[in-house]
C-alpha cells in the first residue's frame, strides 16, 4: 500500500526559507562587528583632507622679525601711497641708506600709480594692505576676504606696469583671522605684523614717536609707521631723528622675513 507524502503548503515552505536566510545574514553581520573576539576589524576610511593651505601648506606664523638675525630693524609704512608724504619718506630713507616695506591700499594705488613705481625705483618692497582697508575684514565672508587681498595685489601689478613681487600681506588694523592668513598664503604672500608700534597714526608728537621707538626697539624688530591715512609730517620728522640714531646704535636696515 502506498502512502501519500504530506507536504506543507508553499507559504510555509517560503516562511522557513526566509527564516534561514535571515539567520545567516544576522550571523554574518555579528561576525563583522569590530571588537568581537576572533572577528575581523574593518579599517577606517582615510580622513578627508581639507582643501587649501590648512592641509598641505599651512599659513605661516605672523612675521614680527627681520629676515636677518642680529642687529637689524625692518621699517614698514602703512596706508599709502600718499603724494604729500610718501616722497618725503623716500627722501629720508635714501639719505640714511635705509630700506623699507610699504603696505599699500588698493584705492590709493589706483589714484597714485606713479608712487608705486617710485617706491620700487628706490629699492623698497611692496606689501598688500587690501583694496579698501576694511578693519572688519576678519568678519567678512571668505569670498570678500579673497577679493580684498587679491584685488590689491592686482592693483599693484597694474600700477607697477610690470610683474612685481608682493611678498607680504598686512591685515587692516592688525585684525587677523585664519581665512585671511589662508587667502594670503594662497596668493604667495607672508602675513606681516609688527613688534614696535610708536602710534604715529595718532599724531602724538615727533618726540613721542621717536622716544617710543628708542624705548622698544631691539634686534630683529619690525617697526610700524604710516605714510598715508592723514597728516604724517610728525612721522617724517621722527624718521629724521630715528634713522641716524639707529645707525649710531649699530643697527642695519632689513626687510621682514
Q: Tens digit of pLDDT for each residue in 141-169? A: 999 999 999 999 999 999 999 999 999 99
d(CA 199, CA 235): 10
Which pLDDT score is estimated for 110?
98
E strand intervals along 50-198: 72-80, 100-104, 125-128, 166-169, 190-191
Which pLDDT score is estimated for 159?
98
Which pLDDT score is estimated for 60?
55
Instruction: Answer yes or no: 78 catalytic.
Output: yes
Element holding 226 (H helix, E strand):
strand 221-226
Which pLDDT score is estimated for 36?
36
Nearest of 158, 191, 2, 170 to residue 77 by alpha carbon: 170
d(CA 91, CA 5): 116
Which pLDDT score is estimated for 205?
98
Question: 72-254 architecture in CATH?
Answer: Alpha-Beta Barrel (3.20)
Contact (CB, 8 A) for 120 and 250: no
Low pLDDT (below 70) residues in the chain: 1-60
- Grid cell for residue 77: 609704512
Could you tell me the residue ranges of all domains in the chain?
9-43, 72-254
Catalytic residue among 128, 200, 226, 254: 226
DSSP state of 164: -
Catalytic residue among 65, 78, 82, 155: 78
Instruction: Answer yes or no: 197 catalytic.
Output: no
Amino acid at each position: 500500500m502506498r502512502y501519500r507524502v504530506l507536504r506543507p503548503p508553499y507559504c510555509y515552505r517560503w516562511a522557513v526559507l526566509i527564516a534561514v536566510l535571515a539567520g545567516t545574514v544576522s550571523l554574518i553581520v555579528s561576525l563583522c562587528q569590530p571588537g568581537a573576539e576572533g572577528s575581523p576589524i574593518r579599517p577606517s576610511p582615510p580622513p578627508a583632507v581639507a582643501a587649501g593651505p590648512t592641509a598641505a601648506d599651512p599659513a605661516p606664523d605672523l612675521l614680527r622679525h627681520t629676515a636677518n638675525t642680529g642687529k637689524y630693524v625692518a621699517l614698514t609704512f602703512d596706508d599709502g601711497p600718499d603724494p604729500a608724504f610718501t616722497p618725503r619718506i623716500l627722501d629720508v630713507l635714501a639719505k640714511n641708506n635705509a630700506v623699507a616695506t610699504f603696505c599699500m591700499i588698493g584705492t590709493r594705488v589706483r589714484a597714485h600709480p606713479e608712487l608705486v613705481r617710485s617706491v620700487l625705483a628706490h629699492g623698497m618692497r611692496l606689501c598688500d594692505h587690501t583694496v579698501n582697508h576694511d578693519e572688519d575684514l576678519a568678519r567678512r565672508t571668505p569670498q570678500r576676504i579673497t577679493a580684498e587681498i587679491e584685488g590689491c595685489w592686482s592693483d599693484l601689478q597694474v600700477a607697477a606696469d610690470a610683474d612685481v613681487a608682493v611678498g607680504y600681506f598686512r591685515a587692516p588694523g592688525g585684525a587677523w583671522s585664519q581665512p585671511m592668513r589662508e587667502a594670503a598664503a594662497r596668493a604667495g604672500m607672508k602675513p606681516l605684523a609688527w613688534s614696535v608700534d610708536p602710534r604715529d597714526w595718532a599724531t602724538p608728537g615727533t618726540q613721542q614717536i621717536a622716544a617710543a621707538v628708542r624705548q622698544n626697539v631691539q634686534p630683529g624688530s619690525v617697526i610700524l609707521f604710516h605714510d598715508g591715512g592723514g597728516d604724517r609730517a610728525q612721522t617724517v620728522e621722527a624718521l629724521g631723528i630715528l634713522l641716524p640714531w639707529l645707525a649710531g646704535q649699530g643697527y642695519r636696515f632689513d626687510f621682514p622675513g
